[in-house]
Each structure stands twice: as C-alpha cells, then as structure tokens.
A and B are shown apart, each in its own frame.
Chain A
C-alpha cells in the first residue's frame, strides 16, 4: 500500500459524513489516504470544487450523498446526480480517467459501506497510480 495516493472525499453532512463517523466509532479500518471535506449537501458541490481538487494534486475524488429520497434538503442529491453523470464525461476531455471520480449514496448508519467504498476506491486508484494529467501546460 502506498501512502502517496491522495484522495479527497466530499461528504454530505447528514448522511455520508455520519456514515464516516459510524465507521470511525465502530473502529472499522479504511485507508488513511482520504481527506474528508464536509459539505452541507451533495447538491451544494460545484463542479469547480472537484476540478480544483484535481488541479491541486488529488489523485481521486469521492463524493458521498444521501440515498435518493433521503436528502435533508429534499432534492439536493438529485441535482448532484445530474451534475455527476456529466462530470464523468467532462474529466475525460482533459485526460483524467473516469475511474478517478466516484460518487456513492451512503446513509449515516452505513459505516460498513463507507469502509468498503473507500477500500475499493483506494485499490482502484492504486492500480491507476498517481494522477499524471495528459494535458500538461508548458511553462515558458
């Protein structure tokens, strides 16, 4: 296991962040490479935030939200779902593999799901290696 894989996780306050909390209190082990950023809702995540993460050197970005119908703000995750499906196509245009981005619905009680997701995402990223953007900017 290499430690230099950087994984940024945007977690919604009401579900996925709670899920991570559950995983923590139950002492379930998951890769320490993930840096969790708490947001109030997955619908609040702007595509630019994820692009910024890649730009700053993240090798993979994970977004966790509530299950469909469970959103604290009624419809935030539906809006995010739309954006996410578009985002997968977007990063490919810039030479970033689709697999470097993942989103999942994790409720506050699903600590195990959080653990499993982080593990499998980390393994996938490990196979891909650190992000080497094909589109590079040549500084003069």
Chain B
C-alpha cells in the first residue's frame, strides 16, 4: 500500500502549544479516546525532570496533555509491556522506531494482537542516556543540568531550553567526535522513520508548528481523516518539495548511521581477548534478558540446571549469552536496552547487533520489519 502524506496540527490551541510540533500526536490520541475507538493509550510521561520518563497507561483524554512534548534523554521502551500487562484491551501506542520494531517482532511471535492495536510512530534521530546527558550539558553547554526544561534534536543539533527561556544548541557531530552525544545504539540505528506503524509523525520536511505525517496503512489513513472530520486536527497538503526534503534528510541520516555501524561492529569491534575480559565481569543478574523486548519465554533455558555447572561466577558465556544469541539475535532490533541495564558495562548489544547483521546479509531478514517469520518458525518454502 502506498503511503500518503499530510501536514497536520492540533485544532485546540492549548494542545497545539504543548506539543513539539503542533501537538498532532496528542490530539490524535484524544480523538481515539474520546470516541472510544481505543480503551487505553500507552505512552511515556515526563516524571520530575527531562531525564526521567515513565510509561503511563491513560484512559482519560484530559490526562493526555501531561504527556505532550519530546523526551530524548530517557530511552524508555514500551514494547514489552504490552504482552505482559495490557494485551486484552484495545490500545493505542506511541512508539519510536525501536518500540515499533519490538512490537512487530512480538506480533510475529503471537504475543501481541495486531487488530487491537493502533501504532502511532514517531521519527527518531536518537536518544541520550540520562546520566551522560546531564554531564554533557554541564561540560559543553555550561549550564546547570537541573535548569533544563526542554530538549530537542533538530537540524543536526541537540537544542536545550532553560528555565529562563534561553535556548542553546550544540552540533551532534561535535559532541560525538568527543565521545558524547547519542547512545551508541542510536548512533548506528538505521531506522529513523518507523514505517511499520499505522501513521508516522515527525518534523522533517514540515514547517514550524506543523507535523509531517505519513499514513502507512489504511487504518492509519482512516484515523487521520476521521480526526480531521471530527475537528481534532487541521490539515494542509504537502508539497512535492517537502517530501523531497524529508527523503533527503532520511538519506543523509542513514548514510551517517551506516558509517557508525561499520565503526562499531567491524572496525572497532572488540577482539576475542577483549570479550574474554568483558565476560569475566558478568555477575549473572539476568538484567539483559529481563529487559529484552524480544525475549518473552515463560521458562528460560539459561536458568535450567543442566545449563549451569556451578553456582560460581562468572557464568560460562557459551551457555549464557550463547543461548540467548541463538534464540533471538536474528531478531535483535538494536534497542540497546541490554547494554543500558548491564551493571558491569559489558558492551553486550554489539554482539547481538553484529549477529543480526550477519543473519541479515545471509537472508535479508530485517528485524522488526520483514513480514517473514524468524527462523524457528520460518516457512518450508525456501
């Protein structure tokens, strides 16, 4: 199905001011909740500061306003919450590309019911780790990190807004050259526009105060058109030039990310000796497995007695990470959660992404996008 494009923004002036680019996403969610098309909305909300985001489940459209705005300094993922807690309701979920890919992989594993779900995708240029972001704002922006009330990634810059209203921006390239900036996974992530959702919203190619929306599925088209009809959003047509700008931006980003991918996974990939050192740090906390959005088994093989031969640390990487790699690395969506939660700072997501890349080269299976099923379920016709 071919995509259609529109420029939209919220009709409600309050919502329009609250959101990042005209409050479109918030007003679409309001439309869905008010008309009982969905029971709940799953999104993330600012909790205290810009460095903390918590997933919230909202059933009352008035509460939605508190979730408006972007949060780049809190890489919270929502994909794995759906099968665990809320698979039985009709749901709208706001997802960045890795959430959308996680949901897609879980759908293939029959963990999420596609028909119950409205997926509203957001363009994403990358996220930052909260702790790193704080230090970075102190070092490069020379501000008190607690004064930051808003942040945004636009035109290759990380822009922050302070309490007193001043804005400051530093180029991402300059930051990343010095080892700061976005999370490593986001640097090499090649998917900025999650086209595996129903609609994708973003500011690329849009004028200020408007959101560029790509309606991918028929469901998404109906959603936006009905939203306009019911008076929640207003729309403008998109010029050919704006579409081209968006495509060009995406192309530039993908090329950049590919370079990072080469750097992380081939040129600077840790040697076996280095991995030896990393695996020896492991304290067997199972954090990487618990956070992984793809891992959903109720009974995990790596906890089985026959896979352990001692209670001593560290665990044998072959039957710890090896089994996990064998079970899900082909579906690794490069969200980087495993690395984020690892208390021993093992660069674990690199090995998963590397395996996924190799699998992709052999079979052209793109985790989170391809319709075909992952290996354990793959079809007989090959």
Contact = CB atoms under 8 A, between A and B. Distances in A.
A111 B319 CA distance: 33
B319 A135 contact: no
Interface residues of B, number: 38
A47 B319 CA distance: 10
B358 A78 contact: no
A28 interface: no
A95 B355 CA distance: 14
A2 B375 CA distance: 37
A124 interface: no
B316 A55 contact: yes
A74 B94 CA distance: 41
A85 B378 CA distance: 14
B330 interface: yes
A87 B358 CA distance: 11
Contact of B351 (A47, A79, A93, A139): A93
A67 interface: no
Interface of A: 46-48, 51-52, 54-55, 74-75, 78-79, 81-83, 85-87, 89-90, 93-95, 133-140
Contact of B306 (A52, A89, A137): A52
A83 B376 contact: yes
A139 B309 CA distance: 13
A37 to B, nearest CB: 14
A86 B359 contact: yes
B279 interface: yes
A86 B272 contact: no
Given A51-B318, A55-B318, A89-B358, A79 B329 contact: no
B326 A48 contact: yes
B326 A47 contact: yes
A47 B323 contact: yes
Given A46-B301, A83-B375, 17 more contacts: A48-B323, A48-B326, A52-B319, A74-B380, A79-B378, A83-B376, A85-B362, A86-B330, A89-B355, A90-B326, A93-B275, A93-B354, A135-B275, A135-B279, A135-B317, A137-B314, A140-B312
